[in-house]
Amino acid sequence: MVDHVRPTTRNTSPDIRRPRGDWRALGAGLVAALASAMLTAGMSVVVPAGPAGAATTTLAQLAATRDKQIGVALAPDRLTDPAYRNIADSEFDHVVAEDAMTWAATESLRGSFTWSAADEIATYAATSGKALTGHALVSPTQVPAWVDEITSTDDLRAALREHISAVVGRYGDQVEYWNVLDEVFAEDGNWREDSVFQRLDNFYWMEEALYAARAAAPNAKLCVNDHGTEAIRSKATALYNLVLQYQARGVPIDCVGFQTHLAVNGVPDTLQENLQRFADLGIDVRITELDIRVPVPASPADLRAQATDYRRVFQACLAVTRCTGITVWGVTDRYSWIPDALPGQGAGLLWDEGYAKKPAYDGVTAALLDTTNPTFTSPPPTPSAPGPGPSPTVTSPAPPSGCTVTYRDITWNRGFIASIRIGNDTTSPVHGWTLTFSLGVGQRVSHGFNATVTQSGAQVTARNVGHNRTIGANGGAQSFGYQATQTGGNPAPTSFALNGRPCRTA
């Protein structure tokens, strides 16, 4: 059984927090400028050592001076390779299992768990004093065959809860971040239609997973992790809107992970802005699976370009206060997933197949040394729905009904999910409620949740169900939602009436 001791996530020794040595006297900005110029010229950057006898400065030490974590994905069977393990030991302060903690790896038969590989990573993290990320509790692409064969929604939810409770419960407070949901969106921002979860339980299973993880790990940070969300585009915006809706409804969500599997010269221009807009919602953001592939055999020019790309990714995270860390997806090109999955591509990591540092390592070093990186301040975000925070002061008098309706939605190409909160601003409770409003052209309700929702023409009528019949006085509230199709534009309703009386909209 793993010793569930939360590892130290920062090295706070004086030699790391306040580096000494003549090279620091040059000033971090000058060092970074020289490093950048050397990279451009195709030269290698050597991080100068401290006083005689001091160890060479590592990536983990440099990252600690910037208050960031730098992590690595590990495979337990590779830890017997001395060179692999030595790099993991010295260069990183955070680890994640490549696949050893996935559902497919831990519960190939229902109720029968295999812990050896996951335990090895957890034990390594604990004994080496590194923080640990749990990856991934529910990924539609990494479930055992028996999950795909489930035919009942209730049984699927039960299996999900049982799995999360067992895995999260085993590793306890040792895990700092859990990737609870992984790769839930299709490339166009719609839900993955090839998922057993989507077939049987629409989008509800995702909330079920987050609530189950919170119950099992009240102190861990719960994350949604996905690929292809690094740039501001439809898929990233769908993820952004999902976070907005979860926050509005109190669903536990603490961070978003951006996998960042990139091709050389493919760092999105909007990466930093995208990270910042998520951070502005009050959550952590993390680069979780970084690699930058090049055509193989790699040319010197491509390796220089790769170094520049690594530097840009790190600079983007460094400029966003709530970007708490970056994890590279492997130690060495020798064991990378890329050549098998993408023939003709590879060489995506910081060490080559012979464990020699590549220019990409120098690119990371240059970014970490450059303390002139400005903190990015974005303009106020323009979400499709209001973000969290206090409501603005309303100077107009409240309508006679004394109700306030808050509307939020998640929109994709062919549909949307709406979440509606009804607030009671009066001193008397409401016993039994009906909310009416109108939808636009092309918007059709398919089903509701936490209410009976029907549509006749443009008008929608939502009636309470048994458990939410009463809206308490003096700010009491009830929430419900619905899923609908839409043909474009997807305007929000402009007015609502509670039991026939108009409400204010927030």
361 closest CA partner among 65, 11, 46, 34: 46
Complete DSSP assignment for 8-63: P-S---HHHHS--SGGGGG-HHHHHHHHHHHHHTTPPP-PPP-STTPPPPPHHHHH
Residues 6+ apart with CB under 8 A from 303: 294, 347, 358, 359, 360
Distance separating alpha carbons of residues 444 and 340, to the nearest angstrom: 45
Q: In the block, which residue shows the tokens 């973000």?
A: 387
Give the long-range contacts of residues 240-244, CB within 8 A, separation 24 or more: 240/277, 240/278, 240/281, 240/383, 241/383, 241/384, 241/385, 241/409, 241/410, 241/411, 242/410, 243/278, 243/281, 243/283, 244/281, 244/383, 244/384, 244/385, 244/387, 244/408, 244/410
Q: Active-site residue among 91, 98, 183, 289? A: 289
Nearest to 345 by CA among 356, 355, 336: 336
3-state SS class at 156: helix
CA distances from 116 to 123, 132, 444 (A): 10, 16, 50
Torsion, Cα of 462, 208, 470, 480 (10° steps): -20
- Is residue 120 flagged as an active site residue? no
Q: Which helix (H) or strand (E) holds 128?
A: helix 116-128
Task: Compute the distance between CA of residue 32 and CA of residue 267 in angstroms, rounded to an integer.
Answer: 20
Two tokens at 108? 């190939």
Kindly list the catalytic residues.
Answer: 289
